[in-house]
Structure formats: C-alpha cells, structure tokens
Amino acid sequence: MPPSSADRGRSQRCLHKETNGFANDDHAEASVPSTSLRSLVDAVPPNEREKLRRVLVASAKGFSIGAGIKGGLALFAILGRFKRKKPPRKGIAVTNGEAIVTALKETLRYGLFLGTFAGTFVSADEVIGALAGHRRTARWRALVAGAVAGSSMLLTGLEDQHMSLAIYILMRAAVLASRCGIKSKRFGKICKPLTWKHGDIFLMCLSSSQILSAYILNQESLPASYKSFLNKHGGKDPVILQGVKDIASGKPFTNLGAIEKYYKTTGVDVKLNPNMKVPCSIVHGNQSCSGHIVSFLFQAYRRALPVYLPVYLIPALIVHRKGLSKRPYTILAKGLFGTARSSLFLSVYCASAWMWTCFLFRIFRRCNIPMVAMGTFPTGLALAIEKKSRRIEISLYCLARAIESFFTCVADTGYLPQSRRIKRADVVVFSLSTAIIMHCYAQEREVFRSKYLNVLDWVFGVPPPPCETPRCKDG
C-alpha cells in the first residue's frame, strides 16, 4: 500500500532534520578555531585592544611608506638600466636579475625600518602612558618614545653606516627646534637670525663648495650612493676628473693620454698641453667654455627628468590619494610642472658648477684647491629656481652630506682619529633627532609644514589635546 501524503511529509521532515544536524556538526567543527580566536580577542579589554590596533596600524602604514618610497626609486632605477644602451664597465658588472633582487631586498629592508620605527614609537608611547599616567608624562613621553624608536635604524643594515641619513634627520630636527625657539619668549632673540629670508640658498652654496670640491678632489669622502649620483649628473668621465684633480693639487699629470683616448672614442681629436695652467681643455675638449655650458645643460636636463618623476609621483599617490579621484588633472599637472621645475634646477646646478669654475680659472689663469672651492660656492644659487617650500629641504639634504664629507676629509688628514672608533654613531644621532621631531609633533604641531603633518597624522593618528580624552583623565 503506497504511503499517504502525511507519511511522506513526516519522512521528509525527519530527513531534513538529520541533514541539518550533520551540516551543523560540520560547521561547529570548522568554527572551533575562529571561535577560540574570537574568544582570545574578546578576552582582551577594549582599552588594550585599541592600543594593539594602533600599534599594528602604525607599523603597517610605516612599512607602506618605507617600501613605497624605496621601491618606487628602485623601480625607476631598474627601468633606467633596461633603457641603457651602454654596456657596464668591466669589473663592476651587475646583471639585471641581481639588480632586481638587490632592489627587492632594499625595499623590504627600508619598509621594515619605517614600519618598526612607527610600531616601536607607538608601543613605547602607550607603555609609558600606562605605567606612569598619560597626564603626568604628556610633556616628555613622545621625546623618550622617539629616542627608543630611533634604534630601528639598525634594520637598514647592521654593518652599514647611514651617517648621511642621520645627519639629514638631525638637520630637520634642528629646523623644528629653531622654529620652536623663534616663538619662545626666552630664546626668540637668539633664534631670530634663523629667519633670514635667503638662508636656505646660503646653506646650499656652503654645501656645494664642500660637496663639489670633494666630487673632484676626494670622492671617497662621499657616501657611495651619493658619489654614484654625482658621477652620473656631473657628466664627466673619471679620467677627466683625475686630470682636473692633478692640476688642482699641483701634481704632474698622470693620465693625459687616457683623456685624449677618451675624447677619441667620442669622435673628438684633442691634443693636451702638459704645461697647461687651466684645465678647460681637459673638461670640455675643443669646445669653448660657453658652448660647453649650453650643450651640457641640455644633456643634464635629460638626465634629471627620471630623477624627479618618482619624487613627485609617489607622494602624489600617498598624500593626495583622495584628491586624485576628485581632481586628477590638477594634481597631475602640478606634479608634471614640479618635475620640470626641479629638473631644471638640477641641470642648471650641474652646468653652473662647470661654468663658474671655468670662469674663475680663466680670470685668475690658475687652478688650485682654493679656486675649486671658490668656483663651486656660487653653484648653490641655482636653488633659487626651486619652489620656496622645497629649498630648505634640498639645502638641508646637501648640508648633511657636506658635513659628513668635511669631517671624513678632516679625519683622513689625522686631525680626528678618535672619530673612527665610534661605532654606529649614526644610530645615536638618528635617535636624538627622532626624539626631538616626535616631541615637536606631540607638543608643537604648528612648527611642521602641512604636508609633513598630514603624513605623520596618517601614520600615528592625530595626538589628542592634553587631558581631553578618557585615557588621559584616567592617567
């Protein structure tokens, strides 16, 4: 006898319950790890959970900035290698594959460096506040946390010295400290000379005298990366620089034949006089001084464009990421104009270095070390081409390298033998600098430029006003 419709309904309901039971059991087994993880998270008090979130977010954002900037620069450098037609010199050949691996390592290293710095600062800030109270430590907590976070510089390489970077950050800290001093009643008069309108250009001239003199006379006093940068944009073969160094140092020429051979490879037949008083024929062969400057300027501009594309492109993607969707053409146009302007600055800077030295050599009919230093001093005037807000950045960047080069030259002469025994002085200088910067960020926010303040706020979050938050009142 066939089952009735009621029997069929009961059997279907039983089967549905059994099936759901098996499915629920499987789901329960699968959700055990997620439930246990959720319980662990729930076990953390909401206050502590927010602190942990702040540490992780700051670390991730710091990593993204470090990896983004270093990776962007590395990407443009690799693209430049692919476009380069001239084969690398013997003995220093590096394959494209090796260059890519090195770039990836450097990108990861600097990402970890900034990520660790951000995470360490936030962690130290929260730990000090939790132990001693946010209200009681408000005036000095960021100073200590910044100093502690400075040790993250070791992640850029345990054996590599980064004194140029450390001195540059110290210069940035000094600028912030001077701005604080200017608005201070106690130190305002002392810091007033720092408000000189064209002080940035003077610093650039001073830095140029040391850097460009070292470029010709003692390249070993410059950081390897910066030396490579100068050799590229200085536009002269090492044999030419050696010839200028010989005549400036008052030594007999050692490579006139090599210089003549170099010019022959470029299609120029030059005969150099071993009794010459000025090195103009060494620097630009059969060209006149004025003709050389004009042709060099165009070549230098083509070399400068790839340098500044990432400088303007990467910050636009990070700082103006929201505005790109609303006004992309305006932001991109500003970036392209900035690239063209900065490229003109760099090309004029490099061309004027050779122009001023040739000019002085011709006037005084001699070439020596003081003449090289004097001729490279007015080169810094090219900084006037740059946007006012960027001038201080560039002058401080160059001043940091000039200071390092100067003390290296002094140490090489034996006047500062003890300076070589200080290990990882760069970390000490960097920690001191970051302590000052983070203290100013927490206590004197108005001394920062808006674009830097935006980046710091994005990474660390806007610091709350003293004693206006629940955690501060609890402290």
Upper half-sphere CA count for residue 161 (Cβ side, 13 Å): 16
Contacts of 350 (CB under 8 A, 6+ apart): 233, 234, 235, 296, 300
**211, two tokens:** 């850097």
Residue 103, domain member (yes or no): yes
Q: Mark whether 263 and 377 lie in a shared domain.
A: yes
Residue 279, domain member (yes or no): yes
Q: How many domains does the chain have?
A: 2
Q: How far is the C-alpha of 297 from the C-alpha of 325, rounded, in Å?
A: 37
284-320 pLDDT, tens digit per residue, is 888 888 899 999 999 999 999 888 887 787 766 766 6
How high does pLDDT run on average in the chain? 79
Q: Mark whether 433 and 296 lie in a shared domain.
A: no
13-70 pLDDT, tens digit per residue, is 444 444 444 444 444 444 444 455 455 556 666 667 788 888 888 899 989 888 888 8
111-131 pLDDT, tens digit per residue, is 888 889 998 999 998 889 888
310-341 pLDDT, tens digit per residue, is 778 776 676 666 666 777 777 788 888 989 99
Residue 180: how many CB atoms within 10 A of its CB?
A: 18
Contacts of 322 (CB under 8 A, 6+ apart): none
Contact indicator for 336, 352 with CB cutoff of 8 Å: no
Specify the amino acid at residue 190. I
Q: How far is the C-alpha of 431 from the C-alpha of 435, rounded, in Å?
A: 6
Q: Mark whether 226 and 330 lie in a shared domain.
A: yes
Q: Mark whether 405 and 432 lie in a shared domain.
A: no
What's the pLDDT band for 471 if we cut at 50, 70, 90? very low
Counting residues of the chain whose pLDDT is more than 70, the rounded percentage is 76
What DSSP assignment string belongs to 154-212? GGG-SS---HHHHHHHHHHHHHHHHHHHHT-TTTHHHHGGGG-TTHHHHHHHHHHHHHH
Q: How far is the C-alpha of 265 from the C-alpha of 337, rounded, in Å?
A: 37
Q: Mark whether 263 and 345 lie in a shared domain.
A: yes
Q: How far is the C-alpha of 262 from the C-alpha of 210, rounded, in Å?
A: 28
195-234 pLDDT, tens digit per residue, is 677 888 998 999 999 999 999 998 888 887 788 889 889 9
Q: How far is the C-alpha of 429 from the C-alpha of 259, rounded, in Å?
A: 42
Residue 389 confidence (pLDDT) above 90? no
What's the pLDDT score for residue 157?
Answer: 67
Residue 348 confidence (pLDDT) above 80? yes
Choose one of 376, 403, 419: the last residue of a domain. Answer: 419
Contact indicator for 43, 36 with CB cutoff of 8 Å: no
Gyration radius of the chain's alpha carbons: 30
Residue 284, domain member (yes or no): yes
Q: Using N-to-C axis directions, what is the helix angle for 163-182 and 425-443, rounded to 10°? A: 30
- Please give the sequence-ordered ranges of beta strands (E in DSSP) within 31-140, or none if there are none: none
What's the pLDDT score for residue 336?
Answer: 86
252-266 pLDDT, tens digit per residue, is 888 888 998 999 888
What's the pLDDT score for residue 334?
Answer: 83
What's the pLDDT score for residue 94?
Answer: 61
Dihedral of CA 330/333/334/335: which sign? positive
Q: Is the full-model pTM beyond 0.75?
A: no
Q: Mark whether 89 and 129 lie in a shared domain.
A: yes
Q: Which domain holds residue 402?
A: 199-419
Please give the helix or strand (H or E) that residue 60 lies within, else none.
Answer: helix 46-83
Nearest to 239 by CA among 265, 267, 260: 260
Specify the residue for token string 């005298």.
Answer: 209
Q: Mark whether 251 and 358 lie in a shared domain.
A: yes
Nearest to 334 by CA among 349, 347, 352, 320: 320
Contacts of 374 (CB under 8 A, 6+ apart): 209, 360
Contact indicator for 416, 136 with CB cutoff of 8 Å: no
Q: Mark whether 249 and 113 lie in a shared domain.
A: no
What's the pLDDT score for residue 37?
Answer: 43
Q: Mark whether 347 and 220 lie in a shared domain.
A: yes
Q: Mark whether 468 and 384 lie in a shared domain.
A: no
Choose one of 390, 419, 448: the last residue of a domain. Answer: 419
Choose one of 374, 394, 419: the last residue of a domain. Answer: 419
Q: How far is the C-alpha of 417 from the C-alpha of 410, rounded, in Å?
A: 9
What's the pLDDT band for 464 if we cut at 50, 70, 90? low
Counting residues of the chain whose pLDDT is more than 90, the rounded percentage is 17
